[in-house]
Amino acid sequence: MRNALRLMLAAAALLAGSCTVMPPAPKLEHLVEVYYDEWLAQNPVAATGIGDHRFDDRLEMNASPGYAAASDALERRYLAAVRKIDPERLEPQQRLTREMFIYGREMALDRGRYPVRMVPISQFDGGMATDLAILGSGTGPQPFATIADYEHWLARAGLFPEWVDSAIVAMREGMQHGVVQPRAVMAKVLPQFDALIAPDPQDSLFFGPVALIREDWPDEERWRLRTAIEDLIENRLNPAYRKLRDFIRDEYLPACRESVGWSELPEGAAWYASEVRRHTTTTLTADEIHALGLAEVARIRTGIEGVMRQVGFAGDLPAFFRYVQDEPAFYYQRVDELIAGFAALKRRINAALPALFSVFPKADYELREVEAFRAASAAGGSYRSASADGTRPGVFYVNTHNLKAQPIYGMETLSLHEAAPGHHFQVSIQQELTGLPRFRRFERNVAYVEGWALYSESLGRELGLFTDPMQWYGRLSDEMLRAMRLVVDTGLHAQGWSRERAIRYMRDNSSMADSDIEAEVERYIVYPGQALGYKVGELRIQALRRKAADTLSDQFDIREFHAEVLQDGALPMNVLDAKIDRWIESRSGQSASK
């Protein structure tokens, strides 16, 4: 605490000072650390997610005007302070910190210009309503190891009715200004909330922590905590979820819009352009990305047609898509078989990774089924990061809601993407870079994080995978999904596409299950721009690898290249470009000196 106080006083002095003499370089580290402490205090659920448990009893009211104003003030204050630091007086790593910090704050302020808080809930992201369920299940990042942990949870969850009230106020404000979600997707929120309302507290997902109450605690404490959780469910959480569900059903849904594109909202075109910049960390326009997507779809279709010839399929492409959808041999019949298959893949991939990597995460990951309450609208696979200290493993979530949406031929690709060397690998390595400022360890940007995960899929053959032509089809199929996203996301939000047109386009170009296509399209509808980062980021990393390999020739080492990409956190694409260029130049110089 004394150290934190010194940091805060140092930052306050810098922020308030009028002296024109530039501070010494260490001030930068102090400043960004104090910023991150303040940011975590404003976002306590995020703090819990990274393993910082100082604020486990708090809940941010992130749909309120006060929260938005405080966030904006925080970003402006520290952006102005860091801009005053002369980059010429910094070491290379410090300059990278300054550059990344400024970029992140500028992006946050750009997004803050738009009424994001007026749309706090969707079928894809229920906001705090969904986050609370994951926290309170007993299997999420909220700890339940001590009596104090339970007290913190009871205090945090007890604030949820206040969050619901603020979210309803924000959505009503959105209704007045025409900033509302599409009706087609909001209707799917209702069953999600229904699943979280249990008339009998013991049937509630939120009853999960009761099973974790330690048997060696005094009986009166055990009984008190159990009773408090039952009371929380019955008198706080159930009524709050009912209130939110009833508001959405009776008041919000009738006011929702028939359109689906972000361009239909007030200042929607500019808002969407902001989301495109934020998620791709490039200056690419929606039209440029749309054209890029069309070209990628055409290229990948050619690859799929090659697989058709390789396996001796005689029909056309639509017939092949129907074949892979309907052939029972391509699907497991039992959930335990699917999970066991992914466990076997984990062992196989881990054994092969040293051939391509010299840097590895300390944290492990575990396989887990997606929770039932959110499975119907969740993606086929997802990843939740490990705690920064490695005590809580990462989680590779597998959606078992519809086994026909989890084809065997897609398993190698999905595992590479979500686990190792994809999300688990990259995020864990980033969090474990303890020498970096915390914002660099924990901030994410989609183009880098998802671009790396998609790039990881392309490493399958080098790792000894994709030996079966159908597993290679699975790789192409997943790559096709990311290419179609470029077309569909920009089509929906910048070119006036309807939901039905987007679904039809994806059906025509893939063998995805209809349920997956619908969930994907509806995800893009409520989360504009996010799906663009995958392919844009992957293409940039692939281009950097080719550039390094061509320039360095025999001196190129793929393990060194991967270490350079991974060892500085989730960089914006232009920052990564410059970093790899410097690395190539330094390696070229070493080669010349020999």
Interatomic CA distance for residues 440 and 451, integer angstroms: 17
Encoded amino acid at 101, one letter: F
Name the phi and psi angles at 366, rounded to 5: -125, 155
Q: Are 25 and 90 in contact (CB under 8 A)?
A: yes
CA distance 431 to 570: 10
Residues with Cβ within 8 Å of residue 515, at least 6 apart in sequence: 402, 404, 405
Give the DSSP letter of residue 422: T
Return the closest-CA partner of residue 536 out of 270, 275, 357: 275
Report the DSSP beta bridge partners of residue 367.
Answer: 396
SS3 222: helix
SS3 248: helix
Q: In angstroms, rounded to a whole number, what is the distance separating the alpha carbons of residues 356 and 358?
A: 7
Using an 8 Å Cβ cutoff, are 529 and 279 in contact?
yes
Q: Of 155, 173, 141, give the one whose Cα is nearest residue 63.
A: 173
Distance from C-alpha of 3 to C-alpha of 335, rounded to nearest angstrom? 50
Measured between alpha carbons, how far is 483 from 477 in angstroms, rounded to an integer?
10
Q: Count CB atoms within 10 A of the CB of residue 155.
A: 13
Q: How far is CA 403 from CA 30, 327, 400, 539, in A?
A: 50, 13, 6, 31
Strand pairing report for 381-384 and 365-369: unpaired
Handedness of CA 427, 555, 348, 407 (dihedral sign): positive
Please list, in sequence order, all residues whose beta carbon lies within 8 angstroms of the beta carbon of residue 473, skipping any fewer than 6 positions away. Answer: 304, 307, 324, 409
Query: How many CA atoms, within 13 angstroms, populate the side-chain half-sphere of residue 215?
Result: 0
What's the pLDDT at 577? 94
Contacts of 25 (CB under 8 A, 6+ apart): 85, 89, 90, 91, 94
* Residues 493 and 529 sit within 8 Å (Cβ to Cβ): yes
Helix, strand, coil share of the chain (percent; to 5): 70, 5, 30
As a whole number of angstroms, the distance between CA 551 and CA 588 comes to 8
pLDDT at 591: 56
Degrees (nearest 5) of the Cα angle 314, 316, 321?
100
- Is it true that the peptide bond before 141 is cis, omega within 30 degrees of 0? no
CB count within 10 Å of CB 310 equals 12
Beta pairing class for 381-384 and 394-398: antiparallel
* Tokens 């519809």, residue located: 402
The pTM for the full model equals 0.87
Continuous H helices in 311-382: 317-326, 335-352, 372-375
Three-state SS at 269: helix
Query: Burial of 362 by CB count in 10 Å (0-12 exposed, 13-18 middle, 19+ buried)?
Result: exposed
Q: Which amino acid, 19? A: C
455 burial (CB, 10 Å; 0-12 / 13-18 / 19+) is buried
- Residue 76 tokens read as 């402006």
Q: Kindly give the confidence (pLDDT) of every residue in the chain, 594 residues in length, as a single tens digit, with 9 standing for 90 and above.
A: 334 434 443 444 434 443 334 444 459 999 999 999 999 999 999 999 988 999 999 999 999 999 999 999 999 999 999 999 999 999 989 999 999 999 999 999 999 999 999 999 998 888 899 999 999 999 889 999 999 999 999 999 999 999 999 999 999 999 999 999 999 999 999 999 999 999 999 999 999 999 999 999 999 999 999 999 999 999 999 999 999 999 999 999 999 999 999 999 999 999 999 999 999 999 999 999 999 999 999 999 999 999 999 999 999 999 999 999 999 999 999 999 999 999 999 999 999 999 999 999 999 999 999 887 777 766 778 898 988 887 889 999 999 888 888 999 999 999 999 999 999 999 999 999 999 999 999 988 999 999 999 999 999 999 999 999 999 999 999 999 999 999 999 999 999 999 999 999 999 999 988 888 998 999 999 999 999 999 999 999 999 999 999 999 999 999 999 999 999 999 999 999 999 999 999 988 775 555
According to DSSP, the residues that pair with 182 across neighbouring strands are 257
State the DSSP H helix or E strand holding residue 381, giving kind and residue range, or none if neither. Answer: strand 381-384
Sort 236 into a burial class: Cβ within 10 Å, 0-12 / 13-18 / 19+.
middle
Strand order in the sheet with 394-398: 365-369, 394-398, 381-384
What's the Cα-to-Cα distance from 438 to each of 21, 44, 196, 411, 563, rounded to whole Å?
A: 27, 15, 34, 34, 20
C-alpha distances (whole Å) from 559 to each of 144, 333, 357, 425 are 40, 39, 5, 14
Quote the radius of gyration of the chain (alpha carbons, Å).
Answer: 25
β partners of residue 398: 369, 381
Gap between the terminal Cα atoms of the chain? 51
State the virtual CA torsion across 448, 451, 452, 455 in degrees, nearest 10. Answer: -160
- Note the helical H segments in 383-445: 411-418, 423-431, 438-442
How does DSSP classify residue 234? I
What are the C-alpha distances in Å from 259 to residues 264, 271, 294?
7, 16, 24
Q: How far apart are CA 350 and CA 425, in angstroms?
A: 11
d(CA 433, CA 444): 14
